[in-house]
A and B are shown apart, each in its own frame.
Chain A
């Protein structure tokens, strides 16, 4: 990957990575830090990275750094008040989308990441497995479970309403 291709990668994928990380971490500052770290690592390893695979490489780095960040966050045990203030769910969005955001927040980290990688970026099971370090069958199973949970959440809300 050349310097120019790296900058192209920034222009093309920085927002995608940022969305993916922000939906998982739900805090903008943490998401920015993770994205910056991911691009910094891509810059250092640009000589060994193929430009065609730069996107999946970037998502792989960002995903693992996000996991590390979440593990570190669990050790710190942040207060719930702080977490409520840091949530980025105060934007005016569609009711269905808001419901989906709520349903997505109920998933565990792995399921949420799989859903986001699938729906946001359109990766295949195989590519998601390469990014997350899971096998293709594991991705398929986890993702199907996440879909069913989301569907059940939506159906149950409709029944209540």
Chain B
């Protein structure tokens, strides 16, 4: 219902064309019924701005985009490929493996890598051989150490029992006295403490390691002349089973007829070693010697031995050494 209170809004809605057809007719009837409002109504209608058709965007083509499907939509004929046309010389385009010059870079790299690995392996192999050679030389020095015993005064019998020596049988014969031995025969070690002249040390294969081990019999008949000029005690090293294991164990049996007070330090040491607690001597016992046969251990042994000798000499066998302010008891 249009009244004088709400006609202005309806006039605006009429101007904006927001009214339906019946509402528009109602407004027109209201204006006809109220001529004093016609001027205002016409003024609002004049405020409608008509578009200026002279204004046009100057370049429509600049806004256009190409349409690839335009021909298809417009029904224009499509261009189909002519499969009858073929390239005549396809063989010229093919590539074969013979034509390619392939640089064998992976093989070259593999060769270099193999050479490096071989060089490293060779170095390790040589090192391993040097170590084994060193162990062997240490083992071979064992019989030579018997020269220490050769300095023992007369009436001293030293019977080294060498075991576990890798090299084959070694026969050393010095002097006129020799012991006849059967290389293939093993004798048990027989200690004769009362005997003053000769001492035969026989190693019993039954006391030795298992029969599967290779044994090397080594007979050493060594006569050691004393400083007095008398025919000295014979040091017999015979029938010594040699173990296959690394390292060497040499057992000495030292017995002298000389009183302890008159014997040399070396003799006393050897006697102590024998009479001692069953410890291994300088050349070790049957324990696995591979990790222990090192230079460092040898140095420690030498130092220990020097202390022991000094203790015996200075303290009359009390085996005590005074180092600085400390007194060390040597076992």
- Chain A residues with a Cβ under 8 A of chain B: 2-4, 6-7, 10-11, 14-19, 22, 32, 35-36, 39, 43, 91, 93, 96-97, 100, 103-104, 115-116, 118-120, 122, 124-125, 140, 143-144, 147-148, 150-151, 154-155
**Which of B53-61, B224-232, B248-256, B315-323 sits within the interface?**
B53-61
The answer to whether B68 and A3 touch across the interface, beta carbons within 8 angstroms, is yes
The answer to whether A4 and B47 touch across the interface, beta carbons within 8 angstroms, is no
Give the top 3 A-B pairs by smallest Cβ distance, nearest first: A150-B47, A18-B57, A119-B49
The A/B interface has a contact count, at CB < 8 Å, of 86
- Asked whether B76 is an interface residue with its Cβ less than 8 Å from the other chain, the reply is no
The answer to whether B57 and A3 touch across the interface, beta carbons within 8 angstroms, is no
The answer to whether A3 and B9 touch across the interface, beta carbons within 8 angstroms, is no
The answer to whether A39 and B63 touch across the interface, beta carbons within 8 angstroms, is yes
- Complex CA–CA separation, A18 to B59 (angstroms): 11
- Complex CA–CA separation, A24 to B68 (angstroms): 36
- Asked whether B107 is an interface residue with its Cβ less than 8 Å from the other chain, the reply is no
Main secondary structure of the interface of A (DSSP, over half): helix
CB-CB under 8 A from A96, the residues of chain B are: 46
Are A154 and B64 also in contact (CB < 8 A) when A22-B55, A115-B49 are?
A: no
CB distance from B67 to the nearest CB of A (A): 4
Chain B residue with Cβ nearest A119: B49
CB-CB under 8 A from A118, the residues of chain B are: 16
CB-CB under 8 A from B86, the residues of chain A are: none
Chain B residue with Cβ nearest A150: B47
- Asked whether B121 is an interface residue with its Cβ less than 8 Å from the other chain, the reply is no
The answer to whether B55 and A10 touch across the interface, beta carbons within 8 angstroms, is no
CB distance from B45 to the nearest CB of A (A): 9
The answer to whether A7 and B67 touch across the interface, beta carbons within 8 angstroms, is yes
- Complex CA–CA separation, A31 to B21 (angstroms): 37
The contact of A15 among B16, B43, B55, by CB within 8 Å, is: B55
CB distance from A143 to the nearest CB of B (A): 6
- Complex CA–CA separation, A32 to B57 (angstroms): 7
The answer to whether B60 and A35 touch across the interface, beta carbons within 8 angstroms, is no
Are A116 and B43 also in contact (CB < 8 A) when A147-B12, A147-B15 are?
A: no
CB distance from A80 to the nearest CB of B (A): 24
CB distance from B11 to the nearest CB of A (A): 9
The contact of A154 among B17, B47, B54, B70, by CB within 8 Å, is: B47
The contact of B46 among A17, A32, A39, A154, by CB within 8 Å, is: A154
CB distance from A34 to the nearest CB of B (A): 11
Q: List 17 A-B contacts (CB under 8 A).
A: A3-B65, A3-B66, A3-B70, A4-B70, A7-B64, A14-B63, A15-B56, A18-B57, A19-B51, A19-B52, A35-B63, A43-B65, A104-B49, A118-B16, A119-B51, A122-B17, A147-B47
